[in-house]
Amino acid sequence: MKIWVRHAWCVAAVPLVMSCARREPVTLTVDFTTRDSWVYEFNVSVGGKVAMRDSTAACAHAIHGRLTGIPDTADPSALTVTTGDVVLESSMLDEDEKENMRRLLDNFTISFSLRNGLNDMSDSLKTPLMPAGQWDLYRHFAKMLPVLPEGRVRPGYTWERHAQVPLPTSHGDAVGHLYQSFRFDSLTGRAPDHGRYAHLSWQFSYAIETGHTDTAGLLDEIPHTGSGAGSATVDVDAKSLREAAVEFTIPQDSKSDVFSIEWNEKAWIKIVE
């Protein structure tokens, strides 16, 4: 009996040892050219409330869908994805507006690179972002996707990134500043050189810099800064992005005497094998 118990412990301990945190340096690389196409499932939800004098309105949007991506041979870390199978829920839009968004998002293309960030925002900017609730996936993806570091790095390594996002609004042009501070948290895996996963996390802030065209001054009245946290898992050996998630919050702000706004955003993508 004792022998059997010891044997069982040994058998159980082998995978535990193999899957525990690892410390060797690795290259955090994604190579999308290893497949002809990639499929991810994604979800974005934004909720919050707008309080005005004696009333408060709850606001909520949610979108769920599929991303089908094609690699870019010039940049193996880049993927051009097209949205599909979009399901949209919104408490703020009428049926025609929802249908419009659904149809727009059912075939929307985004290009991003895990080396350089979002590649090309022209898709986003070619159509002004309208107050009919146009859903700009670019900004959600900019917050949600990590940018990977150069060279070989060990768990504990940190790096930063600053990106600027042009924001053409109906009240004038603004710029969004995204500051992300990444950390390589841990490396796990069941066997050497096979199935090792790098777990990343990051803190970030997103701040709005307004222009001078808004003579109504409304852009100055709404909240200008929010912060959040994200995480992602990279398959080091398969060189693929497994999943990523982010949460972003703008706490209830009272810059204006008349209204205050709270904003809570959650987004994630997961690979579909």
Partner 1 sequence: MAGTSCPAIVENRHFPGGKAFPRLIYILLLCSFSLFAGEPSWVIERDTTLTASIEIREDGVCTVKPGVTIRFDGYQRVTIKGVFIAEGTRDKPIWFTCAGRIRGSTDKPCWQGFEIVGNRANAIFRHCRWEGAFRNLIWEARPVFDSCEFVGNHYALYCTKKSAAHIKNCIIYRNRYGIVADFASPLALDNCITENSVGIYLQLSSRLIAGRNTVANNKTDIKSEEAMGGTKDALSSKYLWDLMRQLY
Binding site for partner 1 (CB under 8 A): 46, 48, 50, 52-53, 55, 57, 59, 61, 92, 96-97, 99-100, 103-104, 122, 126-136, 139, 167-172, 174, 176, 206, 208, 213-216, 218-219, 222-223, 226, 248, 250, 257-259, 261, 263, 265
User: Shortest Cβ distance from residue 59 to partner 1 (Å)?
Assistant: 5
Q: Which of 238, 241, 166, 170 is nearest to 200 (CA)?
A: 241
Residue (of 154, 157, 193) closest to 18 by Cα position: 193
- Residue 50 or 70: the one with the smaller Cβ distance to partner 1 is 50
Angstrom CA distances, 208 to 109, 184, 221, stand at: 25, 28, 12
Give the nearer residue to partner 1 in terms of CB position, either 98 or 242: 98
Q: How many CB atoms lie within 10 A of CB 27?
A: 13
Residues 264, 48 contacting (CB under 8 angstroms): yes
Helix (H, G, I), strand (E, B) or coil at 92: coil
- Residue nearer to partner 1 on the CB measure, 29 or 227: 227
Nearer to partner 1 among residue 27 and residue 170 (C-beta):
170
Smallest separation, CB 101 to partner 1 (Å) = 10
Cross-strand partners of 85:
none
Q: Which is nearer to partner 1, 27 or 225 (CB)?
A: 225
Shortest CB 215 distance to partner 1, Å: 7
Minimum CB–partner distance for residue 189 and partner 1 (Å) = 37
Q: How far is the CB of 50 from partner 1 (least distance, A)?
A: 4
* CB contact at 8 A, 62 and 89: yes
Residue 229: CB atoms within 10 A of its CB come to 13
